[in-house]
Structure 1
Amino acid sequence: MPNHRRTSPRYLQLARLIQERIDAGEFPAGSRLPSEPEMCAEFGVNRLTVREAVAELERAAAIEIRRGVGTFVRPPVARVSIAVDPRSQRFDMGSTHTSLPDSTAGQGMDVQETITAALPAGTATTDEEAARHLGRPVAVLSRVESVFSIGPESWGISTYWMPSALLPRELAAPGPVENLVRTLADSAGITLEYDWRAFSAIGADIGDADILGVPAGSPLLVREGVSCTPDGEPVLYVRRRIQGERARFVLNFRAPGPPLPQTPASPA
């Protein structure tokens, strides 16, 4: 077995070698990896090394261990592409409708946002942070929790804070919502503009991990920010968490042009 890094533990060397074979298509998605004895014989390592290598690949989400069946290569992860048009970022139009599967396998799946809870803001650290961002007392704020899914899978969690006086009836109870931001703006008779947006990464806490069906500590991409009225009054603070391996933000700096002309194939 080649040593990619002389200082790397032997199990990491083996894990990298197996990953390289997966990337090269030698072990395609859905295929079963060789058994422990087979890998021991092929690579000249002991069972403990094989088990540690397999555990490392499982943590990296490259493989799936099915107890009593075998170890299988996981299919590529389908990503959500969230389109961000820098030319029109003055207005907050809501973002769920721009979240679309970025893979052939995901095409045709419905994007759905569902409110799971609407309640007064309390004493949680996130409630106090929202109050600071909005420049209002916690006592006058409401918090709306939602989950958005693509097909049968939950892909992200959103938490919105807004003045309770502006919370419309449509957002005050659990259920599907077509576009929460537009519903809020239309009900209040206001136009919402972006004040700021920030991006960061965190490990999933137990609550988010349970909703998303991932292990606690899994990487989540966080997009948060404040939206305000045209005169600059903060109205909405949102904190959205998306599975890190399943999302990317795409900045489109130019308008889509006409399709390029097709060049006829040259005769052989």
Structure 2
Amino acid sequence: MSHALFSPEDFEASPGPLYLQLQRLISEAISSGRLQPGDSLPPERELASQTGLSRVTVRKGVQALVGAGQLVQRRGSGTFVTEKVERLEQALSLLTSFTEDMARRGRSVESRWLARGIYAPSPEEIMALGLGANDQVSRLERVRCSDGTPLAIERASLPLAMLADPAQVTRSLYETLAARDLRPVRAVQRLSATNLGPVDAGLLQVAPGQAGLRIERLSYLATGQVVEFTRSLYRGDAYDFAVELKIGPEGGRRAE
């Protein structure tokens, strides 16, 4: 930005530690629109010169906002105001793929492949898929994006009987399975909150430690055979999950 964001006078009459004052001033500049999503913050040295604060104090105030998700640091590029991401609501009562879910919203879908091949199964995959120790597993790992924004990391594992050639999956896993009459008809999902580690946060282009949602899904055919074991990480700032609850058959009766 061409003009100074702050001056030493901004800190003269304010109470509290200086790094917290800087944190508050930057946050207020973001909420007021002085700093827009995608704007870059002045370099640490320049910000220290503008404010009269030490570089250590500036670094501490900026890092607090990075941890809160208001700023993001890109190696070699600088510190930027986090882009706003449209929050999406996904119904947990529907067994759909990411591709189908985004298509219903009229949004584009892109994938960045991290791994796609046949591997020796991990102990977790052996237990989930009911495999033998000498069996192999098809593994699909990718970052799922919509309209250019990374929203989720999917790590799917399937028995070779369900997917003998992982390279067949170019767009939607469920479309590939449906073509062979192997699309799952039910699933059990487990959700848990998590803080994204450095690697996953980098893939999702958010700050390490930011809130995320972990979903484990076991999907089945009508016969009860397991089709897939998928572990997904969703950005906490991009998704709301909703489920419809109905009162059980005993709900209308008075307890005796």
- Shorter-chain TM-score tier: 0.5 to 0.7
For residues 184-216 of structure 1, the C-alpha deviation after alignment (integer angstroms, 9 at most, x for no partner) is: 14414454211233233243353x456445566
State the SS of the aligned residue for 2:180: helix
**1:47: how far off?**
4.8
Alignment partners' CA distance in 2, 1:50 and 1:113: 37
- Paired residue secondary structure (2:96): coil
The reply on whether 1:133 has 2:109 as its aligned counterpart is: no
Whether 2:227 is the aligned partner of 1:199: answer no
In the alignment, structure 1 segments of 5+ residues that lack a partner are 101-106, 255-268
Match of 2:48 in 1: 36
- Using the alignment, how far apart are the partners of 1:166 and 1:66 within structure 2? 40
Match for residue 8 of structure 2? none
Match in the other structure for 2:239: 248
Q: Which amino acid aligns with 1:227?
A: S
Paired residues in the alignment total 228
| Whole-angstrom distance in 2 between the partners of 1:243 and 1:50 | 28
Residues 1:62 and 2:85 are matched in the alignment: no
Partners of 1:200 and 1:221 within 8 A in 2: yes
What corresponds to 1:161 in structure 2?
157
Aligned positions of 1:98-247 closer than 5 A: 98-99=101-102, 110-113=108-111, 116-122=114-120, 127-137=122-132, 139-167=135-163, 169=165, 172-173=166-167, 176-177=170-171, 179-189=172-182, 191-204=184-197, 206=199, 208=200, 211-213=203-205, 219-245=211-237, 247=238
Instruction: Tell me, yes or no, if the aligned pair for 1:224 and 1:240 is still in contact at 8 Å.
Output: yes
Identity %: 26
Quote how far apart the aligned CAs of 1:220 are.
4.0
Q: Deviations over 1:87-141 (max 9, x none)?
A: xx3xx332332147xxxxxx97521246553323325xxx321221222225243
Q: Determine the structure 2 residue equivalent to 1:259.
A: none
Per the alignment, residue 15 of structure 1 pairs with: 23
Runs of 4+ in 1 over 6 A off after TM superposition: 65-71
Note the C-alpha offset of 1:165: 1.5
CA distance in 2, matches of 1:129, 1:11: 45
Q: Distance in 2 between matches of 1:162 and 1:220?
A: 24
1:83 corresponds in structure 2 to 90
Structure 2 residue runs of 5 or longer lacking an equivalent are: 1-10, 246-256
